[in-house]
Structure 1
Amino acid sequence: MLAAHETATQATPTMVDLSLADSTQRRRVSGPGLRAFLAIADQWKLGEEERRTLLGRPGRSTYHGWAAKARAGQDLSLQLDTLLRLSAVLGIHKALVILFPRAGDGVAWLRTPNRGLLFGGQAPLDLLLSGTQDGLLAVRRHLDAWRGGTFTAPIPGYDDALPPLTDDDIVYL
């Protein structure tokens, strides 16, 4: 039952975090997020055009202005679309580091053609570079599912080397 001063919308929890819609929050996370993106892009050996595509295709001067401000620690406030793209790249990077503990294996996976249904024989990086937010989020969801163990089929060349779990592998505490 709601108190006299409450409304139905106050009683219902928000399902979407809208904090990044606030310009102060965007300014707070934009510089650190872009610096992390630039470091990841270096690790992935991405060229300028690929970096700009992942960020939503800002103009060259805009991209270089953002990068200069981020590296100098100056105030920067990116658009929500760009921040969502940064978040997806950071999530992809995190999943790759978890799934591929050996340095370079995650980047190799990104660049290797993949027979999985999502990729249709193309490299995951090709889907990332489609220019859409959906491409970024699809790869992130794919890696999160893999990381979480919710795949229904093995990953060719990687999972086939792992023996299936048995009842003896389960430990009850």
Structure 2
Amino acid sequence: MAMDSKVTHEVAKKLFDKIADEWALTESEKRSLLNTELTDDLNIPMPDLYKISALIGIYESLQVLLGGEQARRSWIRKPNSEWDGASALDIMSTGNFEDIEKVNRYLKSWREQSNF
């Protein structure tokens, strides 16, 4: 399936909304992650599709590594010594794919070290 198909956009929007709900993101936080507001027209810019893909990876890693929804929600906001006290959400909120991917790689590394 092509990354720019209507189905891809619809699924990406639904998954982003699910993640945003679980993480209790404000509208401002959602916009800072994607630099765009997702509307019902399902025309998501390609850079935002890549960001959503990385966010899905982060979401999946947190599901494996942490027990409940509350633990996952608090982890993304908790200061992290790995990033000089910034939270994962602070890092990702630049809206740059590279920063979102930085968090994704960190969690993937954590999963590998934990043999998940």
Give the TM bin, normalised by the shorter chain: 0.7 to 0.9
Structure with larger Rg: 1
Residue 84 of structure 2 aligns to a residue in which SS? coil
1:110 maps onto 2:110 in alignment:
no
Please give the alpha-carbon distance, in whole angstroms, between the structure 1 residues aligned to 2:95 and 2:32: 5
Q: Which residue of 2 aligns with 1:97?
A: 63
1:138 maps onto 2:102 in alignment:
yes
Q: Which residue of 2 aligns with 1:44?
A: 23
Please give the alpha-carbon distance, in whole angstroms, between the structure 1 residues aligned to 2:102 and 2:76: 13
Please give the alpha-carbon distance, in whole angstroms, between the structure 2 residues aligned to 1:85 and 1:102: 24
Map residues 1-173 of structure 1 onto 2, 5 A cutoff.
19-20=2-3, 23=4, 25=5, 27-55=6-34, 57-58=35-36, 63=37, 66=39, 68-69=40-41, 76-116=42-82, 119-149=83-113
Please give the alpha-carbon distance, in whole angstroms, between the structure 2 residues aligned to 1:131 and 1:82: 9
**Count of aligned residue pairs for this structure pair:** 113
Please give the alpha-carbon distance, in whole angstroms, between the structure 2 residues aligned to 1:77 and 1:114: 34
Please give the alpha-carbon distance, in whole angstroms, between the structure 2 residues aligned to 1:48 and 1:54: 10
**4+ aligned runs moved over 6 Å, structure 1:** none
Greater relative contact order structure (CA < 8 Å, 6+ sep): 2
Q: TM-score, normalised by structure 1?
A: 0.61
The structure with the largest helix share of the pair is: 2
Please give the alpha-carbon distance, in whole angstroms, between the structure 1 residues aligned to 2:76 and 2:44: 26
Q: TM-score, normalised by structure 2?
A: 0.88
Calculate percent identity across the aligned residue pairs. Answer: 28
| Residue segments in structure 2 that go unaligned for 5+ positions in a row | none
The answer to whether the 8 A contact 2:92-2:103 is kept is yes
Deviation by residue 1:75-121 (Cα, 9 ceiling, x = unmatched): x33221010011011111000010002231122111111111xx111
Measure how far apart 1:40 and its partner are: 0.9
The answer to whether the 8 A contact 2:22-2:69 is kept is no
